[in-house]
C-alpha cells in the first residue's frame, strides 16, 4: 500500500498529496479508529460482565481500548518494521497527559459552556474525596511509563526524546528480549498493587455504569475488523511519509523516523479511544466511574506493556533466528 502512495505522490502535485493524505488520515484518526474501537469496547465490556464477572469489566474496557496499539504494532511487524513497537510504548506517554490533564479540562470546559457549575463543584469534591485513588492511578501510570522508557531504549539505544544517530546499528535480539522481560516485570508490579486495591475497595470495580455495555460477539468482531483496516492504512501512510519526507523528518527523529512517528503521532492517535472512555466516565461523577476513567491511563499503560512485551519477545526471537527487519 505504501508503494502505491509513493507512486501517487510522484504523479500529482506535492501540495495536493498532502491535502489528500492529510484528509484521509484525519478521518481515520478522529472517526474510524474511535468509532470501531467504541463498538468493540462496549461489546467486550458486555461480554466480560456476562462471562468473566462484573469486577473484570474495568480491566476489559481499558484493555480493549489498547487494541489499536496492538494491531498497529503487529501490522508494522508484518511490513518488516520493528519501529511499530514504539506505538504501545508511546501510548504510555500519551495516556498520562490525555487522561490526567486534557480529559478533565475538556469535561470541565464542557460543563462551563453549558452553565452546569454544580457538576464542576461536584467533580472537584469527588477528586478531593478520592485523592488517594487519584494518586494511586497517577503513580502506577508513571511506573508503567518508566518500564516503557526502558523498553524503548532496548529497541533503539536512545531515550524517546533524543534523536537516533544515523550510524547507530540496529539493536540485537538480545536487547529486545531484555526489553520484553522488563515489561513483564512492570506488569507483575501493576497486578500486585491492583489486587491490593481490589481487596480494599472491590466496589470500585463492581459498581461501574453498564448503560452501553451490551454483550455482542458480532459487535466485537465488526469493531475489530474495522480497527485492523484503519490501523493498516495509518501504517501505510507512516511508511510513505517516512520515504517522501525523509529529509525533514530526519531533522526531528534522526534515523528512527518510522519509530518516532509511531511514538509521538501514532500513539496519540491510538490513545484517543482511551480518552473517550475517560471523558465519558469522568462525567458520571461517582467513585467507581472515576476509577474507570483514571484506569484509562494506569490499566491501559499496563496493557501497553503487555503488548510491548509480546512485540519485544517476538521480534527479539526473530532477530536471533536470523530474520532481518528495519527500525
Q: What is the Cα–Cα distance from 9 to 5, expressed in whole angstroms? A: 6
Q: Tell the burial category of 148 from Cβ atoms under 10 Å away from its Cβ (0-12, 13-18, 19+).
A: buried
Instruction: Show the cell assigned to 68.
Output: 489499536
Q: How confident is the model at residue 43 (pLDDT cuts 50, 70, 90)?
A: confident
How many Å separate Cα 24 from the centre of its chain?
Answer: 20
Name the one residue in this structure whose C-alpha cell is 476489559: 60
Contact 277, 98 (CB under 8 A): no
Parse the chain into domains and list their residue ranges: 2-320
Cβ neighbours of residue 142 closer than 8 Å, sequence gap 6 or more: 96
Question: What's the DSSP call for residue 256?
Answer: -
Contact 24, 236 (CB under 8 A): no
Share of the chain above pLDDT 90, in %: 38
Cα radius of gyration (the chain): 20
Compute the average pLDDT of residues 81-97: 91
Compute the average pLDDT of residues 155-171: 78
Share of the chain above pLDDT 70, in %: 93
Q: What is the Cα–Cα distance from 224 to 218, expressed in whole angstroms? A: 10
Tell me, what's the pLDDT at 227? 82
Instruction: Show the cell assigned to 33.
Output: 479508529
Tell me, what's the pLDDT at 55? 63
Q: How confident is the model at residue 233 (pLDDT cuts 50, 70, 90)?
A: confident
Question: What's the DSSP call for residue 207?
Answer: S
Name the one residue in this structure whose C-alpha cell is 484525519: 26
Distance between start and end Cα atoms, the chain: 19
Q: How many CA atoms lie within 13 A of 253 on its CB side?
A: 22
pLDDT at 11 over 90: no
Mean pLDDT of the chain: 86
Compute the average pLDDT of residues 203-226: 77
Tell me, what's the pLDDT at 26? 84
Contact 82, 326 (CB under 8 A): yes
| Residue closest to 94 by CA, chosen among 265, 249, 278, 231 | 265
Name the one residue in this structure whose C-alpha cell is 465488526: 222
Q: What is the Cα–Cα distance from 81 to 177, expressed in whole angstroms? A: 17
pLDDT at 294 over 90: yes
Q: How confident is the model at residue 12 (pLDDT cuts 50, 70, 90)?
A: confident
Taking the alpha carbons of 191, 272, 142, 206 in that order, is the dihedral positive or negative?
Answer: negative
pLDDT at 311 over 70: yes
How many Å separate Cα 189 from the centre of its chain?
Answer: 20
Amino acid at each position: 500500500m505504501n508503494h502505491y502512495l509513493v507512486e501517487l505522490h510522484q504523479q500529482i502535485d506535492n501540495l495536493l498529496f498532502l491535502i489528500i493524505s492529510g484528509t484521509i488520515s484525519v478521518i481515520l484518526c478522529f472517526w474510524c479508529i474511535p468509532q470501531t474501537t467504541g463498538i468493540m469496547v462496549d461489546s467486550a465490556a458486555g461480554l466480560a460482565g456476562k462471562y468473566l464477572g462484573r469486577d473484570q469489566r474495568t480491566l476489559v474496557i481499558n484493555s480493549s481500548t489498547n487494541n489499536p496499539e496492538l494491531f498497529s504494532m503487529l501490522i508494522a511487524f508484518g511490513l518488516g518494521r520493528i519501529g511499530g513497537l514504539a506505538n504501545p510504548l508511546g501510548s504510555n506517554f500519551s495516556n498520562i497527559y490525555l487522561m490526567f490533564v486534557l480529559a478533565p479540562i475538556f469535561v470541565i470546559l464542557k460543563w462551563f459552556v453549558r452553565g452546569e457549575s454544580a457538576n464542576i463543584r461536584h467533580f472537584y469534591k469527588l477528586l478531593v474525596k478520592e485523592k488517594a485513588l487519584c494518586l494511586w492511578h497517577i503513580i502506577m501510570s508513571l511506573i508503567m511509563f518508566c518500564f516503557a522508557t526502558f523498553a524503548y531504549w532496548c529497541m533503539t539505544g536512545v531515550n524517546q526524546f533524543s534523536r537516533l544517530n544515523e550510524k547507530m546499528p540496529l539493536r540485537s535480539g538480545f536487547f529486545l528480549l531484555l526489553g520484553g522481560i522488563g515489561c513483564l516485570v512492570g506488569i507483575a508490579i501493576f497486578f500486585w498493587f491492583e489486587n491490593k486495591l481490589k481487596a480494599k475497595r472491590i466496589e470500585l470495580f463492581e459498581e461501574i455504569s453498564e448503560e452501553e455495555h451490551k454483550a455482542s460477539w458480532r459487535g466485537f468482531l465488526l469493531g475489530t475488523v474495522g480497527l485492523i483496516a484503519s490501523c493498516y492504512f495509518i501504517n501505510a501512510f507512516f511508511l510513505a511519509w517516512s520515504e517522501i519526507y525523509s529529509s525533514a523528518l530526519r531533522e526531528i527523529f534522526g534515523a528512527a523516523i518510522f519509530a518516532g512517528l509511531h511514538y509521538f503521532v501514532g500513539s496519540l492517535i491510538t490513545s484517543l479511544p482511551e480518552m473517550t472512555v475517560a471523558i465519558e466516565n469522568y462525567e458520571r461523577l461517582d467513585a467507581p466511574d472515576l476509577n474507570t476513567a483514571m484506569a484509562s491511563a494506569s490499566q491501559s499503560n499496563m496493557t501497553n506493556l503487555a503488548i510491548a512485551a509480546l512485540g519485544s519477545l517476538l521480534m527479539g526471537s526473530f532477530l536471533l533466528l536470523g530474520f532481518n527487519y528495519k527500525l
